[in-house]
Amino acid sequence: MEIKYLKGDATQPVGQGNKIIVHVCNDVGGWGKGFVMAISKKWKGPENSYRDWAKSGKDFELGEVQFVQVEPTIWIANMIGQRDIKKGKDGTPPVRYDAIKKGLTKVSVFAREINASVHMPRIGCGLAGGTWDQIEPSLTHELTEAGVETVVYDFE
């Protein structure tokens, strides 16, 4: 199985059956720029759940994932794969590839449990400052090689 690349909006996942929309969150509780704005425009639950999770501090750390059901067949995966919201003093971008890989492992398990396909923009490559050549192998290893249909959307 290979990653499918489509032009479109990841908040409008294509196909039948259960779907999980994955995006990368930071570990400081900030929500307000990037793809999360499209999520919040369509559904209020993921932002509210993420903010409650951040306030609670319980398992709110790199590599963790929160699944929020927003429609009968759609879940949002709030995946913590970004350290802070700014570059470090040494210029290191906020993206944390190991955390994204760990989170994708959890997404893969959940996707197989509920027989879902996984949908996302090019996670970790916007505000998080990552590069797709570092992210894509984790998608292949954690999702498609495990038999999870995976669709990546490039917004038009």
pLDDT digits (tens, 9 = 90+) for 27-67: 999 999 999 999 999 999 999 999 999 999 999 999 999 99
**In whole angstroms, what is the distance from residue 29 CA to residue 54 CA?**
5
Q: What is the pLDDT of residues 79-91, one digit of tens each?
A: 999 999 999 999 9
Residue 103 predicted with pLDDT over 90:
yes
pLDDT value for 147: 98
The CA distances from residue 102 to 6, 63, 96, 98, in Å, are 25, 5, 10, 6
* Spatial distance between the Cα atoms of 85 and 143, rounded to a whole number of angstroms: 26
pLDDT greater than 90 at residue 156: no
Q: Judge whether residue 143 has pLDDT over 90.
A: yes
DSSP assignment letter at 109: H
Task: Select the CATH number that applies to the domain covering 4-154 from these four: 3.30.870.10, 3.40.50.300, 3.40.50.10490, 3.40.220.10.
Answer: 3.40.220.10
Q: What does the alpha-carbon distance between residue 45 and residue 43 come to, in Å, rounded to a whole number?
A: 6
**Per-residue confidence at 16, pLDDT binned at 50, 70, 90?**
very high
Q: What percent of the chain has pLDDT over 90?
A: 97
Mean of the pLDDT values across residues 109-128? 97
Q: Give yes or no for residue 107 having a pLDDT over 90.
A: yes
Measured CA to CA, the distance from residue 136 to residue 12 in angstroms comes to 21
Q: What is the mean pLDDT of the chain?
A: 97
The pLDDT, as a whole number, for residue 49 is 98
Listed by start position, the domains of the chain span 4-154
